[in-house]
Amino acid sequence: MMIIAICVLILNQAWLVTSAAMLIIFLIIGLWFGLTCDIYVGVLVPQLFTTFIVMVCLLYAAERQLKVDFLQLKVNTSLKQDFKEIVEAVPEGILIFSEEEEANKVLIANAEMVRLATAKDTPATP
């Protein structure tokens, strides 16, 4: 859980820094156009402000989706490792195949299943 909290803090800060940089760039662009091109500031400022707000919202949404994807990947990796440990600890033989019919690929086989699959045929004793 501590890793997730650290990731949330780190990933939530990136969009703020990028937004601040975009604000500075838009201010410079607005000043440059306002001073050199004799554009009326009343027209330029709302356009730059609207563009800035839209870009910040899109940036925040993208950063949030990246954060959610990263956290899901971490949880899935942890669950997969836990599942493998449970399967290895079971005394019965377990064999798990892939879902695709064409593949017929073994995904997980614990030690008992490997032992059973590689055992040589021996005559049964009464």
- Give the pair of three-digit tokens for residue 68: 């959610």
d(CA 34, CA 47): 13
Where do the domains of the chain lie? Answer: 2-91
27 in Cβ contact with 19 (< 8 Å): no
pLDDT in tens, the chain (126 residues): 566 666 655 666 777 777 788 888 888 877 777 778 777 767 777 887 888 888 888 888 888 888 889 889 999 999 989 988 888 888 888 888 887 776 678 888 888 888 888 877 666 565
Phi, psi of 96, deg, nearest 5: -120, 125
d(CA 41, CA 34): 6
113 in Cβ contact with 94 (< 8 Å): yes
